[in-house]
Amino acid sequence: MHYNAAEDLRAAIAAWHAWLADEKRVSAHTSSNYGRDLGFFLAFIGEYREVVPDMALLDKLEPMDFRAWLSRRMGDGLSKSSTARALSALRSFFRFLERRGWIGSSAVHALRTPKLPHSVPKPLAPNDAIEMVEAIGDLALNEWEGKRDVAVLTLLYGCGLRISEALTLNRNQIPKGEVLRVTGKGNKQRLVPLLPVVVEAVRDYVDACPHHLEPDGPLFVGARGKRLRAEIIQKQVRGTRILLGLPDTATPHALRHSFATHLLAGGGDLRTIQELLGHASLSTTQRYTEVDREQLIRVYEDAHPRAR
């Protein structure tokens, strides 16, 4: 995002990004999004106040300045979830400046976070999840890429990995034995049990892969031998769900939701599922109890004679 800012402000932004990476250990993706959100705000405030933003200006911003920014976002049709993330980025930046004594208490803290609609994860039915994992290989241009795509989806559904977690695995982290060490958000590590089907799927891909996989290089690679991009898997999943007649909610991340929901339905407890998914808060994991309850109600309404 291009915007004008005084030299002292640009130095503060660079220090903030360094703090996000070194102290908070946020992902490069999150840091980039935060930087983009802050950039849009500074571009707006520079236009709104008709000045080049500097630290002195930030120290003098009032609630009306931030409300004007929120109003602009609403006028531009930006979603509440997008605005909530942008507001989180601004709070992080201004709190960082306050803690270092570079500005006083900011008016940004007076703003309320937009109330987001309550969302419930949309998992696939067990048969649909298994069919998607097995069928994605049929859409590949060649056999080794098909085995690769099956292996990636097997990790998502069999271990509950995020797609980013699967694609950042290196060759020396190949799933083997009984557990897999996964590095998730905030560089936090967790151990997840390995099903034999997961180990077998990844081994089939590695044996078929025509590229030399360096030990400290990527495990999953694209056609040119570079680390596989998430967009490739997402594209293949779109084709697979069309082929199988599945809804648009059948995404790679839906397989992670399916992993958690099917474990819960099979008797898994929330604390264990929280550990397996790498959720920092149990409240995030508790969303899956709502999915399970909804499924229970549907089964009851379909099966109970007095429900008709």
- Asked if 185 is an active-site residue, the reply is yes
Active site residue 3: no
**Of the residues 95, 203, 238, 253, which is catalytic?**
253
Secondary structure element (H or E) that encloses residue 180, with its range: strand 179-183
288 carries an active-site annotation: yes
To the query of whether residue 279 is one of the catalytic residues in this protein, the response is yes
Residue of 147, 148, 162, 190 with catalytic role: 162
The active-site residue out of 73, 256, 257, 262 is 256
Residue 10 is among the residues annotated as catalytic for this protein: no
List b or e across 107-128, with b for residues whose CB sees 16 or more CB atoms inside 10 angstroms: bbeebeebeeeeeebbbbeeeb
Residue identified by tokens 């803690």 is 99
34, 157, 205, 288: which is the annotated catalytic residue?
A: 288
- Measured distance CA(288)–CA(182) in Å, rounded: 21
Q: What is the rounded CA–CA span in Å between residue 85 and residue 236?
A: 29
Q: Is 162 a catalytic residue?
A: yes
Q: Which is catalytic among the residues 10, 72, 91, 185?
A: 185
Question: How far from the centroid of its chain's Cα atoms is residue 269's Cα?
Answer: 23
Please say whether the beta carbons of 258 and 288 come within 8 A.
no
Which residues share a beta bridge with 193?
179
| Residues annotated catalytic, as ranges | 162, 185, 253, 256, 279, 288
